Structure formats: structure tokens, C-alpha cells
Structure 1
Amino acid sequence: MPVFRTSQEAQQAVAQARSAICVPELGEGHGAFALFIEGDVLFDAMIAAIERATDTIWMESYIFAADEVGARFVAALAAKARAGLDVRLHLDAFGAGQRNFRALRRALAQSGVRFRWFRPFDLRHPLRYFQRNHRKLLVVDSREAYLGGFNIRRLNSWRLHGVTRQRDTHLRVSGPLARLATRHFDRLWQDARALPAKAIPQEAGGIEGLLVPSYSRRCRKRLACLHAGLIGMAQTHIYLTSPYFGPGTVVDKALQEAAHRGVDVRLLVPRRSDPLVAGWATRAAYGQLLSAGVRVYEYLPRQLHAKTSVVDAAWSIVGSANLDYRSLFVNQELVLVAHDRALAGQLQAQFLDDLCDASEITHPTWYRRSWRARGLEAIGWVARRLL
């Protein structure tokens, strides 16, 4: 005799099936991760890790500014290279390729640091320039690793930039995850090809987290599927922070489905975006999100650059990936997905604290916005895959 399902039951079944495919099986952790939300604290910890290194220091970043913070890292890396360690620095040719970086580049070369640009512009392969290395990763002795949203620049420093410093989030991991971070770094350093499928195991019951890059040979939509899978698993609440949000993506649709089935879904994005057109694209998603019951907030006091997700105070994602088209489907990204209530609790508390400095976008207010604002959103919608 056939079993008939209601529409809601069918949707839940689809969500569960998607979750089973896209979300790895993880053991539950017990607070093994260190969370950083202040640049000065993070930079001090990273420099201390570099100074403790005895074998290898491998680092990559999207932005590595030729300022006081960048100079401090170059000095620390150069000192270790002169001491005979294997020191590598892999920087994005677009994000970090400023003219005034040349002096720091010379200091690196003179000390023996192995340096590489990720995809400088090449007339023979111009379309490759469209994909950027947006990852931020430091791995020391394959023992500890730092990853998240922080770039290397004074904009993230309270001491140097003051109260208007950028708001961001980073993590320190160790043990098996640090060794996995070493593999991720080396793969991109060698050839930038997609990781073999076995490098991203579906089942990792012995550890509480997994480092997931943008895609493997098995799936070029891994980050989108991972986020959508976790959202599909949600029973009570979903708290997302992202500087940019891509309308029309699988993540956008998954959030709307979750809100429809009664999950408390909240999205925090910046009031001011850089570039402006990225903010217009984000706002182009507001209408459908609000209609579905998603609560949308705009962060007010300073630039928001953190990329975090918390589901049911148990699961979390932290890394370099925005919830937009480029991060989900184009750029090289790296995130940690963790099944750890201590980390999820910290991220959730920070999210709720950030809401105190945010303004909620209500349905009536949104529909009273000006025609100029609507026109800018249309431009953002058209440009959303290029940002």
C-alpha cells in the first residue's frame, strides 16, 4: 500500500536526503577550537606560532597589505627562513598585488622565503584571472592552523585603526585538522587543480570538524551544498553572518524553505558594502527572504567582514567564503564545518551581540524604499555573478 506524504513532509524528506549527501558525518567535539574576533589578538597569536615553528611555515592570504601589519609578518617569516625553516607565502595576485608590495617582496626573497603569486594576469589565459584565491590560512609545523576571514592589514587592528576597525572572525585548529590544512595548502601551491575526492571524506566520525575547500573533482558546488545541507537539517534556528549574499543561489532558496517550515532564520549583512554594487546585489535578495519569514539585519557601526553560520547551537561554519556566487562557485575558498557545541555557542553569542549593533529590515519598511534603491538593486542583480 503506497505511503502518501504531505507537502511539508515531502520537503523535509528532500532536505534530509540532501543533508545526508552534503554534510559530513562528524563526531561531536568538546571545545577544541580557539575563536578570534579581534585582529590584534589574532595577529599576536599567529606571530607567536610563527616564532615557535621548528620545521615549516606555510601561509596564504587574499590581501597582504604593505603596511605595519604586513611588515610585521614579513619580518617574522623572513627570520624563520634565515634560520633554515621551509617558509612559503602564497598570495593572490589581485588582492595583494599592489605596487608598494615590492619592498616587502624583496625582503622575502633575500631571506629565502619561497614566494608565489596566485594567478597573475596572463594574456594566454585571461579567463583564469577571474578565479581568485580568497583563502586565508597559516599552517605551522602541520601542528596548528589558523583560518577564517581576517586578511593581513591594519584595517583589522584596534591599535592601528581604532574603533572603526573591520569586524571579522577567525579560528585556530590543531591535530588532524592542521595536517589536513597542510594538504590543502600544498595542493593549491603546486597546481591549483581541484582536490581529489578522497581528500574531503564524507565520513569523519573520529573528528569534530572538517576543512572543506571550494570544490573537489567529485563536486564543484561543495560549499553551496554544504551550507544548503546544514540549513536543511535545522530544527530550531539558523544564524548567518556574511558580508555579501547572493540572491537566487541554492543557499538563498534553502533559507526560504527553512523559514517556511518554522525555523528561526536570521541573516546579518553590512549596511555599507565595498564595493557598493555588491551591497546592491545583497539587497536584491531581501524581498523574497522577508516574504518567506527570514529576518534580515544590517550591521551599522563598522565594516562587516565575518563569514559564520550557526545551526541549532550545534553545527557551525567559519571560513573565507561569502554566501555569494563568486565564493560559492568560482573562487578558491576554505571553511571549517564543525559539530561542536562550545564553538557554536560562542559564535551564537557573538551573533546575538552583533544584532545589538544592527538594524532589522522589516517588511513594511522595505516595501517603502525609493525607486532609486530599487533601480540599484536591479543593477546588483544583473551583476551578481561578476562580483
Structure 2
Amino acid sequence: MEKQMDRCNSCITLPDDAKEEFIVFVEGDELYTSMLSAISKAQHSIQLETYIFAYDQIGKTFVSALAERARNGVEVRVLVDAVGSSRWSSQQLIKALRQSGVELHWFHTWSWQHPLRYNCRDHRKLLVVDSKVAFLGGFNIHKENSKNLSGDARWRDTHIRFTGIKANEASQLFDLFWSGHLREVVSQPATGSQLLHNQTLACRHRLRCEYASVFEQAKRTVYITTPYFVPDSYTINELIKTSNRGVDVKLLVPRKSDVRIALWASRSLYAPMLASGIEIYEFLPRILHAKTVVIDKTWSFIGTANLDYRSLFINYELTLVSANRHLSETLEEQFLYDLKEAEKVSSDQWFKRDLLARLAGLVASILKRWL
């Protein structure tokens, strides 16, 4: 079996008995090309769910592709988060999709009858075509992820393409969510890869529980990439305990962020982790938006969830958890490559923060449940 790896993307073909193919993307142009190719070949159904659907050069290309398939009799359903896309979309996008026969739903629009649900967002980014091929990860649909359009300032993100049984399960999960069954799950084999909600009928903190479990089992390494690191105290303590057992725990977060207050909150949490031996790195070149966790080159998490309070407890997320070693090795290789473009945070650096930075961190940490 061959494994190919470069700076842009990687493709790992699993053993024949797994009947799955994983392709990891870290460049938006390659991902969008693959997604649009899959859309163009759709014969029966297209299910698209995204937090941001911008009506820019990238968004317009997707609108055209979706509209073309809808006009040719393919069932096309698009679920867009009302808050995530509020400043990115337009009436032109809505009109173009609906006039072509696309079913477009907005998730949790404002309602005076249910004001609290407005805070619970659909943060999932999922595309499923004909229940046979699926895409999941951190990439939204906007030009900020395109090197062709945004150059060196493009966001750094990670997405995965998979086929087979898992793609069919992703289709079922979309159907449940579309019909309003927000916490229901589908039956999945007990072994291999799993598609996890962060909130289910059985457990409203499912993703946090899964993280705690794998952190506890880690023997050698825990490598985390997240754009917004503002978790609860329990999760931080689990990471500290893991580091105290001698496990190499490394955290990669952005130096630049599209949500500055989340960056301040994140930095306010550094002290106890640095004291326990956890290594923290800040990615320097551009905005980091990837969400991956790799444990012992054995377990990997890749999906839409940040390691923050909102993703763990409030928003709706979807994460692929896999025990496939080849996938884990590839994600770890990408993590180590990203570290070359990051700066390690030292305890001296952290304690030398100026008063304004300390106050900003204090305020942000108080507001962490709402970031």
C-alpha cells in the first residue's frame, strides 16, 4: 500500500477489507475542486450543510453547480446556519438556489418564541453526494480558503473525504438533522471509524467524554490543532493529568485569529498547562482554522468541532473519530509540518504579558461560554 504526502493534501487508501478511502485536504482550492467534481456527478441526491456559505467567487461556483444538478432532477438540499452566514450570504444566493429547485433551509433563525435556541448554532460542514461520497471538516464555503483568490493570507484548514459505509451513515445523519431530530444518532459498527455528534439523546457532552477517554488512554503523544482553545476546566485538567503521566502533549493554536477575544481567552489558560509540561505553539503565517487531534499515531479526530466551550456544549458539531493508523500518521505528519511554521510559547513569555493583555484575557475568560 502506498501513502502519498505533500504540503497540500494527502491520500490514504485503506486495506481492501475496510472498504473506505480517506483523502485529507489542507488546501481549499484542491478541496473545492474535489467537492464540485462530486456534485457534478450526482445522480440522485446532494446534501450540503455549512456554517458559512458566502456569495463570493467560491460561493457562486457552488451555487451554479448545485443549481445545474437540481434543474436536472437531482434532489438538492442545502442547510445553512442563519448566524454563521448572516454577513456572508445575500438575497442573490437565496434566489439563485431556490429558483433552480434547490431546497434551502436556514438553521435557527431568530424567533421571539424561542430566543435561547438562537445561541445554539449548526457549526457542521458536511457534503454528501448520492450517499456514496462525503466531505467533512473545518472548511466553509468562502474565498478566504482559496490560495488562488486570497494568496498567502488564505486560512489554514483541514477537511476529509470518505466513501462507503461511512458516507451512507453521514447521509442518514444529515436526514435526521434536516428533519429536526438534532440529537438522534444512526447505528454504526462498534469498531473502526465513528461519526460523532457532540450532543446526543444519551449524552449532551459526548465529544468531551470521548476526548477525556482517549487522553486517559494515551501512552506517548497527544497532538491537538484548534483555532479556538477555550475548553472547560475538566478538559484542561485531563490534558494536564495526561502530561503529568509523561505523555508528550502538544497544542497548536493561531497567533492570528478572526475572533480576537477567543485568542485572549485562550492565552489566559496557558499558565497551568505550561507548568505541567504541555508544549504550546502559535501558528504564525496566517489564520489557523483546522480542528484535529491525534493520539499515539493510533486515534485521530477530524471534523467541525473546536476545542472550546461552544463546540463542546452549545453548538451542533460532527466529528470523524478513527482508529485507522494510516490516517492518524498522515494527520500527525501534517501537525509536525505545521509546527515548523509556529513559535513555541515559553513560560517567561507568558508571564511578561503587559497589563492590557492580562486584563483582556481576564474579561475574555469570563465570557468564554459565549465566544
* Shared fold per TM-score greater than 0.5: yes
Superposed displacement of residue 250, structure 1: 2.9
**Does 2:193 correspond to 1:204?**
no
List alignment gaps of at least 5 residues for structure 2: 1-16
Match of 2:198 among 207, 214, 229: 214
Aligned to 1:337: 321
Paired residues, what number? 355
Aligned to 1:241: 225
Runs of 4+ in structure 1 displaced over 4 angstroms?
Answer: 28-31
Match of 2:172 among 173, 183, 195: 183
**Does 2:131 correspond to 1:142?**
yes
Q: What amino acid is aligned across from residue 140 of structure 1 in structure 2? A: V
Superposed displacement of residue 100, structure 1: 5.2
Aligned to 1:41: 30
In 2, Cα distance between equivalents of 1:128 and 1:247: 21
Aligned to 1:385: 369
Distance 1:189 1:97, change over 3 A: same
In 2, Cα distance between equivalents of 1:182 and 1:62: 17
Aligned to 2:143: 154
Percent of aligned pairs with the same amino acid: 44
Structure 1 contact 240–267 (Cα < 8 Å) conserved: yes
Length-normalised TM-score, structure 2: 0.93
In 2, Cα distance between equivalents of 1:35 and 1:217: 30
Residue-by-residue CA offset, 1:289-332 (whole Å, 9 max, x unaligned):
11111100000100000000000011100000000000011101
List alignment gaps of at least 5 residues for structure 1: 1-27
SS of 1:87 mapped into structure 2: strand
Match of 1:263 among 226, 235, 247: 247
Aligned to 2:92: 103
In 2, Cα distance between equivalents of 1:287 and 1:334: 30
Residue-by-residue CA offset, 1:111-158 (whole Å, 9 max, x unaligned):
100110000111111111000000000000000100000000000000
Distance 1:247 1:284, change over 3 A: farther
Q: What amino acid is aligned across from residue 190 of structure 2 in structure 1? A: A
Length-normalised TM-score, structure 1: 0.89
Distance 1:30 1:343, change over 3 A: farther
Structure 1 contact 251–323 (Cα < 8 Å) conserved: no
**Equivalences for 1:169-180 in 2 at 5 Å?**
169-180=158-169
Q: What amino acid is aligned across from residue 41 of structure 2 in structure 1? A: R
In 2, Cα distance between equivalents of 1:100 and 1:87: 18
**Does 2:67 correspond to 1:78?**
yes
SS of 1:33 mapped into structure 2: strand
In 2, Cα distance between equivalents of 1:144 and 1:100: 26
**Does 2:100 correspond to 1:116?**
no
Residue-by-residue CA offset, 1:62-91 (whole Å, 9 max, x unaligned):
000010100000100000000001100000
Superposed displacement of residue 31, structure 1: 7.7
Aligned to 2:271: 287
Distance 1:180 1:250, change over 3 A: farther
**Does 2:354 correspond to 1:354?**
no
In 1, Cα distance between equivalents of 2:274 and 2:46: 46
Aligned to 1:366: 350
Match of 2:183 among 191, 194, 199: 194
**Does 2:261 correspond to 1:272?**
no
Aligned to 1:303: 287
In 2, Cα distance between equivalents of 1:273 and 1:372: 18
In 2, Cα distance between equivalents of 1:125 and 1:344: 41
Q: What amino acid is aligned across from residue 244 of structure 1 in structure 2? A: Y
Q: Which has the higher contact order (CA 8 A, sep 6+)?
A: 1
SS of 1:191 mapped into structure 2: coil
In 2, Cα distance between equivalents of 1:31 and 1:175: 6
Distance 1:367 1:99, change over 3 A: closer
Aligned to 1:167: 156
Distance 1:321 1:298, change over 3 A: same
Distance 1:351 1:160, change over 3 A: same
Superposed displacement of residue 170, structure 1: 0.1
Residue-by-residue CA offset, 1:20-46 (whole Å, 9 max, x unaligned):
xxxxxxxx9698311000000000000
Superposed displacement of residue 101, structure 1: 1.5
Residue-by-residue CA offset, 1:143-199 (whole Å, 9 max, x unaligned):
010000000000000001101100000001111111110111111111143115xx2
In 1, Cα distance between equivalents of 2:64 and 2:291: 29
In 2, Cα distance between equivalents of 1:158 and 1:143: 28
Structure 2 contact 53–89 (Cα < 8 Å) conserved: no
Structure 1 contact 200–216 (Cα < 8 Å) conserved: no
